Structure 1
Amino acid sequence: MSEIAWGLASDKTAIVMAVALIIMTVLSAGPLHPIDNFINNAPRPYWDQIREFLIYWPDTVASRFVALPVLGVTALQLAYWHRSWRPIILSAVGVFSMLSLVASMKLLFARSHPRTEDPAFFADSGVSFPSGHGANAILIYGLVLFLIVRYQAARPHIVRRLGYCIVGIAVLQAVVSVYLRFHWFTDLLTGMVAGGLILALTIRLDQMIPQGRTFTWWPWYGRNPWNGADRAPEAAGRD
């Protein structure tokens, strides 16, 4: 366990993302309030015409009700193809870690909702900071892309397009949430950084799990389901 903790803590990308998360939290607590207020109070053209459409369609793209099924189908398909629990384990660990981090920060900082027009932390009631949708856009869809790249499930030009799609989803989610006054601008930026931090840690965890380790857990390939005897040990390299 200590080796895993040290390996995760020493990952350079995770360190950068952790520092960025701390900086964004400090800036969101006060220095960036003028920007939050300016964006929150800006005019909303076509509010009556498109508000309902934005709530029921674009705003749901990065919701867990949409993103998690996409990740689940991807992980299950790759797990079946490669006879490995690794895609499922990585997906579950990444999502659980992200939800834990975001929920803890929401409860700790208790930021008021944009409708109150007060972006202060430690309000009587409020769980605006950071944005769970922002974290979903980076972590969940980022895991989908990572698994596709790791198992070479798509050609390079398709991978690039998927990467552009993730950037587009993140930008769309930020614009729609700000327009609808569901989140402060810094809520969304900090949520994306939090999602990026957990994504970096999940990728690092995958690098630390030895190849073939999760293969022996697969019930139909690592062992014979009838007598428990090992089967095709050389196939463990597929993991």
Structure 2
Amino acid sequence: MRALQRAVSLPSLVVAFVVLTLLSLRPLRPLEADLHGFWVRTYPDWVEWILQQVLDRLTGQAVCLPVLVIVAVVLARRYRTWRPILVAAATEVAFLGGVGPLKLLFARPSPELGNAQFFHWHWGLLDGGWRTSYPSGHSAEAILFYGAAAYLIIRYCRPSPRATRWIRAGVGLITVQSVVVAYLLGWHWTTDLPAGVLVGGILLHLVLRADRRLIPSLLRRWDPSSVDLDPGDLEDRQLRSHP
């Protein structure tokens, strides 16, 4: 368990992303060309429809953002605190301020353009990053948005350990399926996908840190009673009082 916690810690994720990026710049590029393909085009049309119109949309903004917002609003109303809504807002800000700039920075054209090299800034700037593929936005959204929703549910509803494991496993399953679906559709080079997962994990860490350190201080200035009603704060106080 400790080894797993270290593996998914913020420093470990940052180091892994840097190493993967350095490898993707040149050493892994020939291998990526061999691994890439629009594999779904060899399957029946109904398979492509399910992958593109159903499974792939699960990790798009049109689905994952409303899911997070619904969770946040329900918890906010139940516990009479703005904190879950601020967490949801911080998640969206983290995605837009993290993944978008990275796509523009690395400016790796999507496979449809047939070029796996980085730093084609004319594509990134002219198209607003839409035709750049590193890191994968959907992979980042999968772990970031669903991870934030799971965090809110676990923090406020305090499910049983078994239910908590199932919730976390669900986030992992959604993340894995986003990687597999994107790979089969051929919309990303191979390393774009784990890079998106790593970036999503990094941003999720930052959102959780903001919830523990920044958001409570903002709420104390705005509505002190809102923080006092937060069950997560009460649990944190109990843990500090009884280590």
Residue of structure 1 in register with 2:197 after alignment: 192
Offset, 1:208: 1.8
Q: Count residues with an aligned counterpart.
A: 216
Aligned pairs for 1:42-191 within 5 A: 43-44=39-40, 45-123=42-120, 124-125=122-123, 126-191=131-196
- Give, as a single letter, the amino acid of the residue that structure 1 aligns with 2:115: D
Say which SS state the counterpart of residue 141 (structure 2) adopts.
helix
Indicate the structure (1 or 2) with the bigger Cα radius of gyration: 1
Change (3 A) 1:164 1:110: same
- Give, as a single letter, the amino acid of the residue that structure 2 aligns with 1:33: R
| TM norm structure 1 | 0.80
Offset, 1:196: 0.3
Q: Tell me, yes or no, if structure 1 residue 202 matches structure 2 residue 207.
A: yes
Say which SS state the counterpart of residue 111 (structure 1) adopts.
coil
In structure 1, runs of 5+ residues without a counterpart are 1-11, 224-232
Offset, 1:92: 0.9
Identity of aligned residues (%): 34
| TM norm structure 2 | 0.79
Provide Cα deviations, 1:65-103, integer angstroms capped at 9, x if missing partner: 100111001111111122111111122112211221111
Distance in 2 between residues matched to 1:109 and 1:25, nearest whole Å: 9
- Contact conserved, 2:59 with 2:142, CA < 8 A, in 1? yes
Q: 1:214 aligns with which of 210, 219, 226?
A: 219
Offset, 1:143: 0.3
- Contact conserved, 2:139 with 2:200, CA < 8 A, in 1? yes
Offset, 1:153: 4.4
- Contact conserved, 1:60 with 1:66, CA < 8 A, in 2? yes
In structure 2, runs of 5+ residues without a counterpart are 1-7, 124-130, 234-243
Change (3 A) 1:86 1:25: same
- Give, as a single letter, the amino acid of the residue that structure 2 aligns with 1:32: L
Offset, 1:117: 3.2
Say which SS state the counterpart of residue 157 (structure 2) adopts.
coil
Distance in 2 between residues matched to 1:99 and 1:21, nearest whole Å: 18
- Give, as a single letter, the amino acid of the residue that structure 1 aligns with 2:176: V
- Contact conserved, 1:119 with 1:184, CA < 8 A, in 2? yes
Q: Tell me, yes or no, if structure 1 residue 13 matches structure 2 residue 9.
A: yes
- Contact conserved, 2:109 with 2:116, CA < 8 A, in 1? yes
Please identify, of 207-216 and 41-50, the stretch whose mean Cα deviation from structure 2 is larger: 207-216
- Is the helix fraction higher in 1 or 2? 2
C-alpha RMSD over aligned residues? 2.6
- Contact conserved, 1:78 with 1:87, CA < 8 A, in 2? yes
Offset, 1:120: 0.9
- Contact conserved, 1:174 with 1:188, CA < 8 A, in 2? yes
Distance in 2 between residues matched to 1:60 and 1:236, nearest whole Å: 36
- Give, as a single letter, the amino acid of the residue that structure 2 aligns with 1:137: A
Offset, 1:209: 4.4
Offset, 1:157: 2.1
Say which SS state the counterpart of residue 59 (structure 2) adopts.
coil
Q: Tell me, yes or no, if structure 1 residue 25 matches structure 2 residue 25.
A: no
Distance in 1 between residues matched to 2:37 and 2:155, nearest whole Å: 44
